[in-house]
Structure 1
Amino acid sequence: MHIAPTMLPSNPSWTCELDRLEAMEMLLTAVDKGSLSAAARELKIPVSTLTRKVADLEELLGTRLLIRTTRKLTLTDAGTSYVASARRILDLVREQEHEATGEFTAARGELVVTAPVQLGRLHVLPVINQFLAQYPDITVRLLLSDRNIDLIDAHADLAVRIGELADSNMIATRIGSLRPVLCASPALLQRHETPREPNDLTKYPCVVFNSPYLSPWRFRPPGTGKLLTLEVQPRLEVTAPDAAVCAASDGVGVTLVFEHDADEALRNGQLKVLLPQFEVEPVPVHLVHVQRNLMAIKLRHFIDFSAPRLRESLSRFGKKHRH
């Protein structure tokens, strides 16, 4: 079953097409968030308003779109078809709005970029600062988060992503890779015998950076090709790599972070790399954006400007230890 939203009958309760587009936006938010209450919080409107808009939409269509339970929302077959159509329509509307403001013919408007916190601060932000100096009619909103922000949900133009990419709907530009390194302070190594293999780490205090890219700790024994996963008991667990580096530098424990996170501490001798021969392969880093019919000039300029600069910035952090 397929419903064509543009062929819907008129209804006196709908004052204009904007009402219908607004209801579509509310419906999609409810589906993406999983509940009407979560969608209402996201949209900053009363639940009753959102419920009424969705009910009006169902009345207009003459069919149910959602099956509501106390725990979750489930789309009907008609709802699944309608949501897919609504996404295409709203994407087209946004493209037309951008085109009307000249964003497809001139380098202007707001660019929304997402990136992991530390990678964004150390590498992406300096490039953005240079970009802004060259393009005075473009503004940038940088969203820093160590979780992968959904580009469509956040209305973001571009994301910097660490790790292998699973979403085939994204266009990706590889800008480098990051080397995971195990490191500890000289003071800690004076109190403990230097580890010779990953299993020795069970005897060490550990500082764990709770990261989807680095947890659990993984190693590749030389000559075997096998992947070893090590469950360590953290003496300290943190949610930011700079905190892990700081604690490890103070001798709290051994930590596993990306090399660029510990670069300064490694160069000034506060930390030393351990077990380099057991390192896994560097983790890829990409610029990703949603595939659309048209690409805004501001996004094309930013990709062309940032990709080579980010490759250069990351170039010395993506090489696995060589014996």
Structure 2
Amino acid sequence: MDKLREMEVFVAVVDRGSFTGASDKLAMSTAAVSRAVNSLESRLGTPLLARTTRTIRPTDAGTAYLEACRKVLDTITDAEANIAADQLNPVGTLTVSAPVLFGQRYIAPLVNAFALRYPDVSLNAVYADRTARLLEEGVDIAIRIGHLGDSSTFAVPLGFVRRRTYAAPSYLAAHGEPLHPRDLTQHQCVSFTGVSPPLEWVFNENGARLPVRLQPRMIVDLGPAAILAAVDGVGITQFLSYQAAPELIEGRLQAVLTAFEPESIPVSLLHVERRSTSGKIRAFVDFVTETLRNNAHLQGVDATATRTSR
């Protein structure tokens, strides 16, 4: 029997004035109560109870130990009550990290709605195109796009995106559409460094990795600027599928080389603590997971399929 349980038994014996009373309170057998007290006294090396045929009372050592036991048990009870309350009414500061464009389109609206739903939680939203280190940077929740390695974090799968190749209709009308990735060496290309290495784009052909070396017309390190360059017809580019979703829906970009797309890329929600240990984390995970899993752009649905619903 663990120490806390032995302390609880000892307090119950004193409060009820008998082993039988303690067994009734704790739903234990009288023999188990007796063994717990004997184990406690043996471990402490001193009698805690003075027993007669009619009464049980604490010894001097037992009286001093009784007070300490009550403090310990009361502290645990209070802590459990606070945790239970935290689960129902989350409090504290929650730090959420996400990539810039993904955060702007999909996470920021959920963060705002969460703030309205839970007024006792303060939000610290960090949008950056880099991998946040949860423990080192004090991040509670991180949205990660990419395959996950071994870590101490807990991952909630949300869906996946694809690395796709796009061009503006005006560009294709002027230069023609590439039919094979190697045709890109004869085209103007805009490399967005946030998705692909600037001088090499990777495709998939018959299940095998197919890298293509390029000499880009333009190299861009900012997503919206790369999208604008593609829409303006500067050249063919690569984005993650969610990044170009609005432009695809509006017809300002169209996907090319779709038969050669590489494997999908998982999107996950990461957090350090188990969901049951933090009310604010559990509440946020529950709040956003279903919405993001129902997002067509994270489930492999072609963005053009949503055109009629917007």
* Range of TM-score over shorter length: 0.5 to 0.7
**2:116 aligned with 1:128, yes or no?**
no
Unaligned runs of 5+ in 1: 1-98
**Does 2:289 correspond to 1:297?**
no
Q: Per the alignment, in what secondary structure is the counterpart of residue 142 of structure 1?
A: strand
User: Distance between the aligned counterparts of 2:141 and 2:283, measured in 1?
Assistant: 12
| Aligned position for 1:316 | 297
- The number of residues matched between the two structures is 220
Q: Which amino acid aligns with 2:235?
A: G
Instruction: Report the counterpart of residue 217 of structure 1 in structure 2.
Output: 201
User: Distance in 1 between the 2:299 and 2:181 partners?
Assistant: 21
Partners of 2:299 and 2:202 in 1: CA distance: 17
The 1:103/1:201 distance shift into structure 2, 3 A limit, reads farther
Question: For residue 240 of structure 1, what is the aligned residue in structure 2?
Answer: 222
Q: Distance in 2 between matches of 1:230 and 1:112?
A: 39
Q: How does 1:5-20 map to 2 (within 5 A)?
A: none
Cα shift readout 1:30-59 (whole Å, capped 9, x = no counterpart)? xxxxxxxxxxxxxxxxxxxxxxxxxxxxxx
CA distance in 1, matches of 2:160, 2:105: 15
Distance 2:175 2:204 in 1: 23
3-state DSSP of counterpart to 1:220 = strand
Letter in 2 for 1:265: E
Letter in 2 for 1:196: L
User: Which residue identity is paired with 1:109?
Assistant: G
Match of 1:39 in 2: none
Per-residue CA deviations over 1:52-90 (Å, capped at 9, x if unaligned) read xxxxxxxxxxxxxxxxxxxxxxxxxxxxxxxxxxxxxxx
What is the CA–CA distance in structure 1 between the aligned matches of 2:164 and 2:148, rounded to whole Å?
A: 22
Aligned residues of 2:241 and 2:297 also touching (Cα < 8 A): no
User: Structure 1, residues 127-154: CA drift from partner, whole Å, max 9, x if none?
Assistant: 1111111111111111111110111121
> Do the aligned residues in 2 keep the contact of 1:282 with 1:318 (CA within 8 Å)?
no
| Stretches of structure 2 lacking an aligned partner (at least 5 in a row) | 1-78, 303-310
Separation of aligned partners in 2, 1:237 and 1:261:
17
Q: What amino acid maps onto 1:259 in structure 2?
A: S
- What SS does the aligned partner of 1:227 have? strand
Q: 1:210 to 1:300 in 2, by over 3 A?
A: same
Is 2:160 the counterpart of 1:177? yes
1:3-25 deviations in Å (ceiling 9; x for gaps): xxxxxxxxxxxxxxxxxxxxxxx
Task: Tell me, in whole angstroms, the C-alpha distance in 2 between the residues paired with 1:265 and 1:150.
Answer: 32
Who is 2:211 aligned against?
Answer: 229
1:263 aligns with 2:245: yes
Kindly provide the amino acid, as one letter, of the partner of residue 143 in structure 1: V
User: For 2:170 and 2:275, how far apart are their aligned partners in 1?
Assistant: 57
Is 2:192–2:221's contact at 8 Å kept on the other side of the alignment?
yes
Please give the per-residue CA displacement for 1:217-251, whole angstroms capped at 9, x wherever unaligned.
21111xx2101112322211112222211110001
Contact 2:275–2:282, Cα closer than 8 Å, also in 1: no
Cα 1:291–1:139, aligned 2, differ >3 Å: closer, same or farther?
closer
> Conserved in 2, the CA contact under 8 Å of 1:114 and 1:156?
yes
Distance 1:274 1:245, change over 3 A: same
In structure 2, do the counterparts of structure 1 residues 210 and 231 end up closer, same or farther at CA, with 3 Å as the change threshold? same
Contact 1:172 1:288 in 2 (8 A): yes
Confirm or deny: 8 A CA contact 2:158 2:298 kept in the other structure: no
- Report the structure number with the largest CA radius of gyration: 2
**Aligned-residue offset at 1:293:** 9.9
Aligned to 2:22: none
Structure 2 partner of 1:187:
170
What does the per-residue CA deviation read over 1:258-285, in whole Å, with 9 as the maximum and x for residues that have no partner? 1221112112221111011111122100
Q: Which has the higher helix share?
A: 2
Superimposed CA distance per residue, residues 93-140 of structure 1 (whole angstroms, 9 cap, x where no aligned partner): xxxxxx79x577420111001111111110011111111111111111
* 1:291 Cα deviation from its structure 2 partner: 4.2
TM-score with structure 1 setting the length: 0.63
Q: Percent identity?
A: 35
